[in-house]
């Protein structure tokens, strides 16, 4: 067995541009997914608000309960039947964000509900509205507890983003497959791609760990 990485390294520019697309798409999806997750997570705090709770639960059920690849294909290949034709990049971002948002919403809800009831009671006793209590007292504390599970979710998102290569998006995976099509060097190419993904996920983990440490040092956590 002989490994020959030279065709892979020869086309490093394609891989770099692919990595950039992967970073862009996951960054947008991550931000959007967090916004969706925050709203849905808060929407699922109170089952007594039936409509909001019901809608948020339905979203969670659908987007967490079906394969990401199927969702991505619906966005890209399915919706045009209704005349909704989004660019591939938008489909990738939306598809990843809606999928990831479902998981983030459960992280958000769990973290908020893990904050002691007494915190909300103390805030409300001062005269704060439920919104003020959430924003000023509960969320800042919940945020710190969200970080470790969010780290997991972000890593999953980066890895899952490889699927958007099937939507004609020229991400890292897609560029790699182009190299293989020409060079037939599958193992070498996939190994290099895997390494690039590993670097991306490691950077993400490091950043989150740093943020968590800063928050803890700032006394956000007992």
Partner 1 sequence: MSTSDMIRIRDLHKSYGSHKVLTGIDFSVPTSQVVVVIGPSGSGKSTLLRCCNGLEVAQEGTIEIDGRALLEHGRLLPEVQLNALRTQVGMVFQSFNLFPHLSVLENVTVGPRTLRGMRRAEADALAKTLLAKVGLQDKTEAMPASLSGGQKQRVAIARALAMEPKVMLFDEPTSALDPELVGEVLQVMKLLAKEGMTMMVVTHEMGFARDVADVVAVMDGGRIIELGAPEVIFTAPRQARTREFLHAVLSAQGSVANALPPAASADAAAAANPLG
Q: What per-residue string of b and e applies to 140-169 under the rule 16 or more CB within 10 Å gives b?
A: ebbbbbbbebbbebbbebbebbbbbbbbeb
**In this chain, which of 128, 147, 166, 196 binds partner 1, going by CB under 8 A?**
128
Which CB, 38 or 93, lies closer to partner 1? 38
121 binds partner 1 (CB under 8 A): yes
**In this chain, which of 17, 132, 201, 205 binds partner 1, going by CB under 8 A?**
132
Cβ-Cβ contacts under 8 Å for 139 (sequence gap 6 or more): 112
140 binds partner 1 (CB under 8 A): yes
Shortest approach of partner 1 to residue 112 CB, angstroms? 14
* Cα Rg, the chain, nearest whole Å: 21
Shortest approach of partner 1 to residue 48 CB, angstroms? 13
141 binds partner 1 (CB under 8 A): yes
**In this chain, which of 35, 70, 74, 221 binds partner 1, going by CB under 8 A?**
221
**In this chain, which of 126, 191, 199, 207 binds partner 1, going by CB under 8 A?**
126
Contact stretch for partner 1 (CB under 8 A) within 1-9, 49-57, 135-143, 150-158: 135-143
Which CB, 65 or 127, lies closer to partner 1? 127
118 binds partner 1 (CB under 8 A): yes
Shortest approach of partner 1 to residue 99 CB, angstroms? 31
Shortest approach of partner 1 to residue 71 CB, angstroms? 37
Residues 29-88 that bind partner 1 (CB under 8 A): none
Which CB, 62 or 126, lies closer to partner 1? 126
Which CB, 46 or 206, lies closer to partner 1? 46
Q: What are phi and psi of 12, to 5 degrees?
A: -60, -25
Which residues are near partner 1 by CB under 8 A?
116, 118-119, 121-130, 132, 136-137, 140-141, 144, 219-222
């Amino acid at each position: 067995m002989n490994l020959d990485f030279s065709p892979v390294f020869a086309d490093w520019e394609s891989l770099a541009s692919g990595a950039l697309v992967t970073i862009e798409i996951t960054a947008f999806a991550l931000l959007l997914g967090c916004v969706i997750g925050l709203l849905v997570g808060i929407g699922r705090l109170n089952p007594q608000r039936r409509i909001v709770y019901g809608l948020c639960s339905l979203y969670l059920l659908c987007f967490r309960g079906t394969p990401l690849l199927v969702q991505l294909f619906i966005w890209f290949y399915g919706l045009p039947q209704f005349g909704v034709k989004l660019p591939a990049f938008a489909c990738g971002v939306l598809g990843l964000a809606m999928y990831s948002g479902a998981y983030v919403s459960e992280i958000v809800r769990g973290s908020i509900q893990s904050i002691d009831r007494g915190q909300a009671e103390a805030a409300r006793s001062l005269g704060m509205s439920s919104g003020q209590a959430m924003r000023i007292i509960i969320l800042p504390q919940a945020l710190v507890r969200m970080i470790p599970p969010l780290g997991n979710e972000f890593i999953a998102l980066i890895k899952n983003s490889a699927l958007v290569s099937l939507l004609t998006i020229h991400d890292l995976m897609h560029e790699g497959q182009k190299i293989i099509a020409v060079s037939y060097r599958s193992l070498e190419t996939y190994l290099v791609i895997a390494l690039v993904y590993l670097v991306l996920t490691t950077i993400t983990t490091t950043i989150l760990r740093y943020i968590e440490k800063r928050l803890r040092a700032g006394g956000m956590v007992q």
